Structure 1
């Protein structure tokens, strides 16, 4: 990836995080092991690179090797001096407003996450403590709106999708926007942008001025998937597990569009939670949808769920093909049922406290080669535990595909090896091969080299 035109600029916050303590500033400046500067620089570069056609975090960082941020504390508050920043984030020397807001949102979340982590290390070893941590992060970002009627629909799906699938996601977003629903996504391109764009047009038609387009991400993902410009609320969670929990805690319903490994990870995460016997009575709308051309994709995904988690898991979602209006109607009606249930249970509209999430879904999974090869993918596991481990397998594949740390690990040690029962490995291999053939692992135009090998415990021969 060639370096693009750059600019030097001075930027101050507007409306949030206008002051930091001296200790916080020093932390942001530090480059060493305990310093936050490398993390802030990586997130800032991704934000300033909005619209990039790369999904390779390592390539984006290498395209701007001279990009630096100088953090200046002054009497009037914080100022950032940007050196060799991507010029497309500026107009006539002034930073685009949405980019500036997201830049300081990143600073806010990085500073607060570090403070919270240092303050409550022991709390983060328990499930209630982790959930409270997610709540505190979201509250600090001012995305929990007490008294607001349920209307937040989370949309999951791939960044590497066809133009037809992207247009379809816009049409679904438009249909939901006409019904007053807000949109939350992973904030990047593809399906993470389409529903927001469609809903933004619909909200304008309905004269809705309080539109919410919430983007939830984490440091390694944002570096590979820069936020799209529709996002007007950005939150950077510390890791993928807290990001996934944030999604399900703020969602009043979830729609899954076509995607790849990351989308499969998200589906498995949610199915594992919904399959927990403690959550059987909690309404949680889950729709899978796409245009007619995507029907084989959903058939393959549905078969994979049946072959690994079984019929019970398939009952947790509904598939609707090529009907944006029906998707929006079903979701709007389902969200109304969620509202009535929350009212009866005296549960908050803005945060789903009642949903039980096991510690195994909350603890960060580090996709080292050792951790990937030692995943327990046995057919003898309880289905919600098998779902948790399958989710981790896909999380590692995502890391090897797009995250800087995962890409470097694959370059150094070769592909991950994933082991398990043949009854699990065969459907997994079949699904991943379909993703590769359909070019769902990387952005269009790039050649995909698998970062994994599927092994079977019977003969330990790699499957391709």
Structure 2
């Protein structure tokens, strides 16, 4: 079906107004090493805010005629959009929030591409350099605010959730807003939008004028989870691993709502970090929460975690069912403990420098049929490595479900194959089947979900 489109010339809004000739040339470069294709993909996702789709490949194909061009001006620059989704405009004027997001995309893509060249000796595979890169991207986006007390709650959960689950996430956000806490999510719909929407009402009631609604995303996922309209600080990190690290470095506590494989990936990442011996005494409140009908879901998640990572992992989170007030109170108390600890240790409130992150959680994992099949899914390894490899398995399934490159790989070569120790794979398969039954893999309304993975016969792991 032909989409209604608009051509427009757009002025900068808040983030980036001037570019060097080198940056302009890289953004115009349509070759493999240029930035044009990446910029176009992310810009289209932002302009598609509010659309009911989570298929990056479909988004690109529907808007194959979309183009975005830099227009130099005597006092800066403008962007020309050609065949842009009409939903991004009102009375032929681009919505201000979308304009902000569009120039945030420009800012972060330019900066992420240029900063390694400005950091002498920068190594893409070195833990300290990776963390410094994330710090610089966040600082450049003005997310890091030195004069602010800890107040940032990260909310994770599925983009494909029921209306009742969405309403519950909104009420939790409302209770957080009433306590002057700000929200950071993956910036998309569902459980990423609900807490932000609720917090806006809570902030309004308390006359909180500096409430923050931070959205952290990355190029591979932004087309499937376009920024929701409430996000007022958007940051695009280079890849999923840097996005996950940005969450735990900037956030002061985490709430997890029901979700699918992306949420499971986030949980395993977080627990893998918190189980590291250097992080044992680090306060970091984590709450899993949902409606009464979600109790079985969290029991299933809890069983999976205990089987894979042991009972110690379960001590790192609290499950609270159907009690938004208690969730918010628990988070407020936990963040107060974070503040006390950071002050005593003279660590920054705005960036968790003390958190130890093993390189296995930082280096980008590229899901391919070969890399997915070779994952070490067995218990003959340290517990944080079990978490890291399971996290990669879920990351691959996410790629096969919603990311353009992953979807194309599945179309050509069939589902990713996952193999390993039956002690891990049995509960993993049970969890994945539950996600499918509960429609947590993809947004409803399209064709029936076709799994992007296949659990195959185990190999020897001893």
User: What is the TM-score when the length of structure 2 is the normalising length?
Assistant: 0.98
TM superposition shift of 1:458: 5.3
Moved more, 235-244 or 437-446: 437-446
Equivalent residues of 1:146, 1:349 under 8 A apart: yes
Give the aligned partner of residue 110 of structure 1.
Answer: 109
Alignment of 1:156-167 (within 5 A): 156-167=156-167
Deviation at 1:289, TM superposition (A): 0.2
Q: Tell me how many residue pairs correspond in the alignment.
A: 459
The residue number in structure 1 matching 2:140 is 140
Q: Deviations over 1:156-188 (max 9, x none)?
A: 000000111000000000000000000000000
Q: What do residues 391-424 of structure 1 show as CA deviations (whole Å, max 9, x unaligned)? A: 0000000000000000000001100001111101
Q: Does residue 307 of the first structure (1) align with residue 307 of the second (2)?
A: yes
The residue aligned with 2:455 is 454
Ranges of 4+ aligned residues in structure 1 off by more than 3 Å? 117-122
- For residue 377 of structure 1, report the CA deviation from its aligned partner: 0.8
In structure 2, list runs of 5 or more residues that go unmatched.
none
Post-superposition shift, 1:310?
Answer: 1.1
Alpha-carbon distance change, 351 to 439 in structure 1, aligned in 2, over 3 angstroms:
same
Match of 1:262 in 2: 262
Name the counterpart of 2:31. 32
Q: Deviations over 1:402-456 (max 9, x none)?
A: 0000000000110000111110110100100110111100012232100001124
- Please, which runs of 5 or more residues in structure 1 have no aligned partner? none
Counterpart position of 1:396: 396
CA RMSD of aligned residues (A): 1.2
Task: Confirm or deny: 8 A CA contact 1:25 1:73 kept in the other structure.
Answer: no
Measured after TM superposition, the shift of residue 118 of structure 1 is 4.1
> Whole-Å Cα distance in 2 between the matches of residues 84 and 100 of structure 1?
16
**Does structure 2 retain, via aligned residues, the 8 Å contact 1:422–1:458?**
no
Preserved contact between residue 425 and residue 456 of structure 1 (Cα < 8 Å) = no
Partner SS for 1:124: coil
Deviation for aligned residue 1:3: 3.4
Q: Is the 8 Å Cα contact of residues 124 and 133 (structure 1) preserved in structure 2? A: no
Secondary structure at the aligned position of 1:221 is classed as: helix
The superposition leaves residues 61-100 of structure 1 with CA deviations (integer Å, 9 ceiling, x where unpaired) of 1111111111111211111111110011111111110000
Match of 2:44 in 1: 45
* TM-score normalised by structure 1 residue count: 0.97
Confirm whether residue 293 of structure 1 aligns to residue 293 of structure 2. yes
CA contact (8 A) 1:425 1:455 kept: no
CA distance change for structure 1 residues 459 and 147 in 2, over 3 Å: closer, same or farther? Answer: closer
> Which runs of structure 2 are paired with 1:51-450 in the superposition (5 Å)?
51-120=50-119, 122-446=122-446, 447-450=448-451
CA distance in 1: counterparts of 2:273 and 2:2, whole angstroms: 43
Please state whether the residue corresponding to 1:320 is helix, strand or coil. Answer: strand
* 8 Å CA contact retained: 2:421, 2:460: no
